[in-house]
Amino acid sequence: MIGRLAFWRRDGLSTTEDCLSCRLVSGSGFLGIGAFLLAQSKKRPQPLENYTMKGLAAAAGILGVALLADASFLKPTIVEDPKEEQIKAVKAAKDHEFFSRR
């Protein structure tokens, strides 16, 4: 059932191009999250909290730059399963017995 629900997502994916506006919004969003975490880390008095938040800020910033730069490791890869194609071709002749009226 989950495989059937995921078909709508796989049909529209393209491995060669990404939406520029999507990359700009998500990349700048991650950069904003990184800047916010960096500002909040300066308010933390304990060193462990400070360094943890700075690490999270760095990770969010790197991900934002990678999104803006259209990094290759962020691009989707589509692998067609032979089972998924068989599920498409199979049509149910009748409803499941659980749903039948008695």
Where are the chain's structural domains? Answer: 20-70
Q: What confidence tens digit (pLDDT) does each residue in 5-62 have?
A: 555 555 555 545 568 888 889 899 999 999 999 999 989 889 999 999 999 999 999 9
**pLDDT the model gives residue 100:** 67
The pLDDT of residue 94 is above 70: no
Q: What confidence tens digit (pLDDT) does each residue in 61-93 have?
A: 999 999 888 887 777 776 666 665 555 555 555
Residue 68, Cβ neighbours under 10 Å: how many?
15
Q: CA 9, 95, 5: angle at the middle one, nearest 5?
A: 10
Check if the beta carbon of residue 23 is closer than 8 Å to that of residue 65. Answer: no
**pLDDT the model gives residue 20:** 83
